A and B are shown apart, each in its own frame.
Chain A
Amino acid sequence: MKYIGIKILLTIIIMSICVFTHAQTIIADSLNEAQSLKTVTYGVQHAWQVNSSISTVKGAELCKSFTTNVANTLYGRLSGLTVQQGSGEAGADAPTLSSRGVNTFGTGKGMFIVIDGFPSTEKLFEQMSPLEIESISLLKDGSATVIYGDRAANGVLVVTTKRGQISPLKVNFSVQIGFQQADRLPQFLDSYDYARLYNEALANDGKTAKYTQADLTAYKNGSDPLYHPYVNWYQKMLQKNSPLVNYDFNASGGSETIRYFVLFNIVNNDGIYARTADQSQYTKDESYSRYNFRNNVDITLSKNLSAIVNLGGSIEDKTTPGVYETTDNIFSLMASIPSNAFPVSVATNKPGGNSLYANPWSEITQRGYVSTLNRSAQASVKLTQDLGMITPGLNISGTIGFNNYFKSYSIKTRNYERYSVADSSGVPVYTSYGQNTSLVGSESKSYQWRNSSYQGFVNYDRTFGIHGIHAMILANYDDYTESNNYDDATTNTILPYKHVGMGGRFTYSLKQLYIAEFSFGYTGNDDFATGHRFGFFPAGSLGWVVSNEKFLNGNSVVNYLKVKGSYGLTGNGNIGGTRFMYNQSYNWSGYNLGTQNGSVSTLVQGSLANSNATWEKQKSFNIGFESTLFNSFNINFDYFIQNRYDILAKPYSTVPDFLGISLPDMNVGKVSNKGFEATIRYTNNKIKDLNYFVETGAWLAQNKITYNAEAPQLYNYLYTTGQIVDQPFMLQAIGFFKDQADIDKSSKQTFETVQPGDLKYKDQNGDGVINSSDYVAAGYTNMPELTLSFHAGATYKGFDVDMLFQGAFDRSVYLSGSYYEAFQDYGSISSIALGRWTTETASTATYPRLSSKNNLNNYAKSSFWQWNGDFIKLRSLEIGYSISHKISERLHIEKIRAFVNGTNLFSLDHMKGLMDPESVSEGVGYPVMRTISLGLSIQL
């Protein structure tokens, strides 16, 4: 953390240079920040009215990142939003989204997602196309979110779709065609290195060599591919480029009475596997495609009555060769097999393999395939009745929304026979594993959920002279029902999740100078006992538009300045544990009795009921300002303190086991989270033909567990209280053992008999023994505490350019698994192990001595394997050219633009080229992808 100041300072210095370089060229022309509209809970307000902390990104910006999942366009784009990348596999590439970092150690860390005013889910959001999104707003502080009551505390992401305007018909076509490449693939050593180093590992373990000199020679010159094979599975299994295509058609326009926006979008990605369907009759090619449609209509039914009808949806088809819905298992298989284990095939129609490892190529060509079909639909209707006849500024409205998601599976599976081969006096002898079976289909799995919402509003918005009043009251109820027969339809006992509540917002403004707001949510959650179901969540905020004061009126430096602060109480009803904790649970189970070991039912009391279970609560404090200076700079800053309490934890660590029953978790945990968001944007549109902007942002969220009911520990450093949420604990590696004398004089390491070249750990408690009591908190978690963004764009005549860098700092990654742990679990060895410790390289070694068997000392969880996970990535770069209006007009085309786009182009990090810094903790799965594409858009 000590570098944060430096990083921030650096950002400020760079921006200051911009200020002074360009200050002279600035010509007064308000950017009109104050009058722009901001999305707030259930509505919009002018920016000057809003005291809350809200950041917004336009849909058009999201299109600068070309991916199959809209959530992957958000890196660095929303101030305060931390986005953590997952797998690169289309259809399974959802990142983790967090508002202001993590505020709880409970299980419910996810944000509340609202699409067009209705409670929704991350999945539904991820199914959307960026092209149908008008804007995405992140509501961060208590004042912004409080109306959502017990669903507000983790922040709220509000997605607004595009709507038609009063204008002639506008038609857009666009097509974007690109190629994806793996950002990085693991580097495993070839057979010669494998064999040579395996012998070294055996020697280290005091065993005789397995590979003779003849073996090594055969590996080296590749003369004997049957008995001394070398297979680079990544080369065999993957194609260099996989195509990614997006086609879009949308149209909008309308009149006073009816306005519309319609969209049809297709995105298609063929994945990274080599084509498999033409290799085998048992499989299909990997593919992913999604079709999105949307039809948003605004109708003015009469002078006072208007209606909105929204209809959106998607169809997602995904086919994966093999037996799983995603390909992670194949990637981990590829990462485990020693490169000399077996050839791809040992003879015609005899795939290689052994008792330990299946054949990856056969796994995708011979095992069948899994197709999934996802459908989502969002439909809503809203009616608004203007009650101006009663009193001006009053209206009421009611909405009904219905979301649905359905996923069905079509699975075809079979097994295949694989062979190992041994040389028996020149004659190959085959040993087979597994059996060839015929393809069997299963179409029975499915998963679905739906949610329906009903809302009613009364709005009052009126100005009396210098007094402005804005008031809103709403009531809502919604439910969410999920069902699946993924495993077994009969075990499905899921009950709907129901919420009911009301909320309101009252904003008073004086002379557009002072703004005071009170808002509240009063929400009920069916997870809790009668009497504990409803909670009242209030928030208040104050704002002062300093620039509207007389002394700043017309000031050429400060064009707009608003200072604001808010304080509120919000909740998080997604507390984890079992549902309906207020009910005493009894679980059915079984036991065997009788000579036939017949099963009899048993009934066991679950944890004691907790009738007082309640939601987590959070007190949020936010203070900040927003400003426009020199008519060119927008500077926004927010500082927040969020104190979460009533987090579910186990407080009964002092109750003896002889009580004989598990006690319920109680709402006792506490986490505090502090940080800031700052953005500076410089816009210049004053130079002839050249417009450009530079924007940089930094956001920081540092959390700390302030109370977690923990069992008494022998040493203070073993407590998680005082640490970051999910803080990793590990041994502290302090180098390699130099020699036996070093081992003898060091504390005894109990995991395994150690020898020179093994990792040496620090004896934290000085008891002379290294064991589980010597684990200490180390490094950071995967989630960066600090995100930096740098966004710049320019247009010059027909050209435009836009780029976005995202930086993540104060995060750690942990290397584990077969890619990093040489020879463990009979596995492979990768380039990381080349720096291994040997007696000759003792002083320069970067990796412990090799071991042919599982080494519980060197691969124990330790700081040796925890690396700095900071990175800076160029998330998107787009260069476009629009044909001059004169030419396009002749073609009766409003606008033609061609562009080239790069997404995830490069990363600066500490991973030494081994692995993408974000996917390192996901295991060696589907790689993060880099995309380069060409596009053309035509507007008629």
Chain B
Amino acid sequence: MKNAILFILSIVFSFMITSCESLMGNYLDKAPGVDVTEDTIFSSKVQCTTFLASIYQYGIHSTLPTRSGDAGVESSNGYGNPDPTLNTGSCDESETCAAWYSVQAWNDATIGPNLTDDSERWAYRWKAIRMITIMLDRIDGVPDMTTAEKEQFKAEVRVIRAMNYLEMFKRYGGVPIIRRRLQVNDNLLIPRSSIDSVVNFIVQDCDESLSYLPVNQTGSNKGRVHQGVALAIKSKTLLYAASPLFNTATPYLDFGKNKNLICYGNYSIDRWKSAAAAAKAALDWAPGAGCHLITDKGADQNYQYAWEHYDNDEIILAEKGYGRGAWDWPWSCFSAIAGGNWGQAGITPLLNFVRKYEKRDGTPETWTGVGVTGYGLQEKFAEMDYRFKQTICYNMSSWNKDIPVSFLYQEATGFEGKHSGAISTCYGGFWLQKPHPHIISSDVYWYVPNSTIFQLNEIYLNYAEAMNEAYGPDADNGYGLTSRQALNVIRERSGQPDVPSTETGKDFKARIRNEREIELAFDNHRFYDIRRWKIATDVDGAYAIMNGSMIGIKINIVDPAETNPTITSAFKYTPYVYETRTFSTKMYLHPFGTDEVNKGYLVQNPGY
């Protein structure tokens, strides 16, 4: 205490003769802490690897529905709104039953700058891209890394950058290209680049990285970028670039002098040829990397094995998530019977989609018209393409150990929460099984989502489509694989017969698209495929794609009094129009958010 008094008195009497801050300031210094700086990060390989992991964290986004913040670090503990990246409910695949999902905005054309479905990941992508530029700037100065290691790190982050540009390209068209780390006082009014520049930028990042990347990643490095990822990004980018939305002289909406932000401004068949070559390069990479289609589990199991088993040989890259309970994102999103009462309403596939499953003999399945009751429902299920059972939770199918039978018929109302208490929200008459592993149940309620970003089956379908557009169904351009052959590879492994060799032209193109729709169902492809093919407003009879009737079925038990001779099983179904959706031409690309457009550097996409 004596010291304290002396201290005080000394301060009081020094007041007139000395600067207070120099006298007292030290007292206010921050106690030693554990502060990190950028120099610390680039001082060792260990720290630098940590920083690399941050780039993965921000730069690779789950394709499953996630809670807000899960895509990045900032609010990963929060239970915010879901990140609505699963666009299945925005197209003819399905309906997301909760009205408040922002993907619903695509269904009534209310999507707009004030209601985008990409705001959170938009910001994460730019954060990742900034971190990538910092890595490229600084990694050469890390003392304890070999040149090869440094080059690999650079290659990995450039591929992640390419992936993020691909995600923005397919949503927005041309976006600003940011090559270096920006400072607050730089000129920040960097405009959008043309489609051509963005595609070239993506391809350049992939091409220049390729030789520095490992052929594949294994063990504890699974989830990191390898050559296959670079090739897959390039294949997908060039396929999109060659597609009618972009590969055209006239954009989907008049955009004046800015039209090169949303299309090439001309049509060139060379773009299809480049896309075919890029897909071929990816297919050629696969055998040497141990990557192949799953074909040894049986025709009725191969498909499911490939999406259900983590790190199986068909997966090129999967985002590695955090473990989640059965009641939690993403698991609870797919079916109201799984989520129980946890508040997720489920995703219900529509007849618009289910009708596209062929019979196992390769011919189309037949369904009655809207309002007309049909019979023999379970028999239809039994005769359809094996992939139907592996994708869809249908009436009387097994969801998991706890729900061995899913009661999806109307009379089942009243099974309080357990089976089909939510039958009233099962608008389509189906629930979604596909991304939800059967193993998740009351015994295994904590399960880690691995969301597949690239899978080899997609590359075959990319190849089939590009080859057909570039060279026709049966020419191989010296690649040793024709479009038809590639398509049949995918069909055969699921037990579907080959496409008849007589089928060509429009029919064959439709067959490719149908195959893509079935094989890549609910993998977040369909919505973007519809847009790049510019088919959103097409209709097939009563069935619309994004504009018009969305049709579900109501399933009922057949009354014994009904004596129709065609009755062969206990269930009948009646297609009905669940909702009528509106597609506005502007929706061929995403809107930029209002806040961003108001900053003055972005030209908003036309129509918004």
A residues with a Cβ closer than 8 A to B are: 207, 355-356, 381, 383, 396, 398, 400, 454-456, 458, 473-477, 493, 495-496, 498, 500-502, 522, 524-526, 530-531, 533-534, 580, 583-587, 589-598, 600-605, 608, 652-661, 663, 711-712, 714, 750, 752, 769, 771-773, 856
Contacts and interface: CB of A to CB of B under 8 A. Distances in A.
A384 to B, nearest CB: 12
Contact of B176 (A524, A594, A595, A658): A658
B539 interface: no
B599 A495 contact: no
26 contacts: A396-B9, A396-B12, A398-B5, A475-B11, A493-B34, A496-B31, A501-B24, A502-B12, A524-B21, A524-B24, A580-B30, A589-B73, A589-B76, A592-B322, A592-B448, A594-B223, A603-B41, A653-B598, A654-B600, A656-B176, A656-B189, A656-B596, A711-B595, A752-B99, A771-B115, A856-B99
Interface in B305-339: 310-311, 320-323
Contact of B130 (A454, A589, A661): A661
Interface in B212-271: 218-224
A589 B27 contact: no
Contacts of A773: 114
A85 to B, nearest CB: 30
Interface string B569-607: 000000000000000000000000011101111100000
B320 A502 contact: no
Interface stretch (B51-59, B88-96, B138-146, B364-372): B51-59
Given A580-B30, A589-B54, A658-B188, 15 more contacts: A355-B416, A475-B8, A493-B34, A524-B25, A530-B29, A591-B320, A592-B320, A593-B222, A594-B222, A595-B219, A597-B320, A653-B595, A653-B598, A656-B188, A712-B598
B344 to A, nearest CB: 13
Interface residues on B, range: 35 or more
A603 B27 contact: no
Given A524-B24, A653-B599, A657-B123, A604 B57 contact: yes
A602 B190 contact: no
B23 to A, nearest CB: 9
Contacts of B12: 396, 456, 458, 473-475, 502
Nearest to A524: B28
B301 interface: no
Interface string B35-65: 1111001000001011101101110000000
A122 B594 CA distance: 43
Contacts of A594: 219-223, 320
B607 to A, nearest CB: 15
A493 B33 contact: yes
Contact of A355 (B110, B220, B340): B340
A605 B36 CA distance: 9
A608 B182 CA distance: 12
A533 B28 contact: yes
Given A604-B54, A660-B127, A593 B223 contact: yes
A637 B55 CA distance: 62
B178 interface: yes
Nearest to B34: A493
B129 interface: yes
Nearest to B57: A591
A355 B341 contact: yes
A590 to B, nearest CB: 8
Contact of B25 (A533, A586, A590): A533
A692 B447 CA distance: 75
Contacts of A750: 110
A533 B51 contact: no
A586 B310 CA distance: 32
A502 B11 contact: yes
A656 B592 CA distance: 12
A62 B128 CA distance: 59
Nearest to B47: A603
B54 A591 contact: yes
Nearest to A580: B30
A475 B122 CA distance: 52
B382 to A, nearest CB: 33
Nearest to B182: A659
Interface string B126-137: 111111010000
Contacts of B8: 398, 454-456, 475-476
B524 to A, nearest CB: 20
Given A583-B35, A595-B219, A655-B599, A660 B341 contact: no
B20 interface: yes
Contact of B450 (A597, A663, A856): A597
A711 B219 CA distance: 46
Contacts of B11: 456, 475, 502
B556 to A, nearest CB: 15
Interface string B338-359: 0011000000000000000000
Contact of B21 (A534, A583, A584, A652): A534
A714 B601 contact: no
B15 A502 contact: yes
Contacts of B30: 495, 526, 580, 583
Given A591-B57, A750-B110, A500 B598 contact: no
Nearest to A826: B341
A589 B599 contact: no
Contacts of B311: 595
B1 interface: yes
Contacts of B21: 524, 531, 533-534
Nearest to B48: A603
B50 A593 contact: no
B220 A598 contact: yes
A593 B56 CA distance: 9
A498 B28 CA distance: 6
A456 B596 CA distance: 55
B561 interface: no
Nearest to B132: A660
Contact of A586 (B9, B15, B37): B37
B78 to A, nearest CB: 14
A769 B601 CA distance: 28
A145 B15 CA distance: 21
Contacts of A660: 126-131, 133, 178, 182
A746 to B, nearest CB: 17
Contact of A663 (B38, B184, B190, B595): B184
Contact of A500 (B24, B36, B220, B602): B24
B15 A473 contact: yes
A663 B323 CA distance: 32
A398 B10 CA distance: 12
Nearest to A456: B8
Contacts of B53: 591, 593, 600-602
A606 B41 CA distance: 14
Nearest to B340: A355
B148 interface: no
B17 interface: no
Sorted from nearest, which 6 A-B pairs have the closest CB atoms? A660-B130, A456-B8, A594-B220, A526-B28, A592-B320, A602-B54
A152 B240 CA distance: 62
Nearest to A455: B8
A583 B36 CA distance: 10
B512 to A, nearest CB: 34
A379 to B, nearest CB: 12
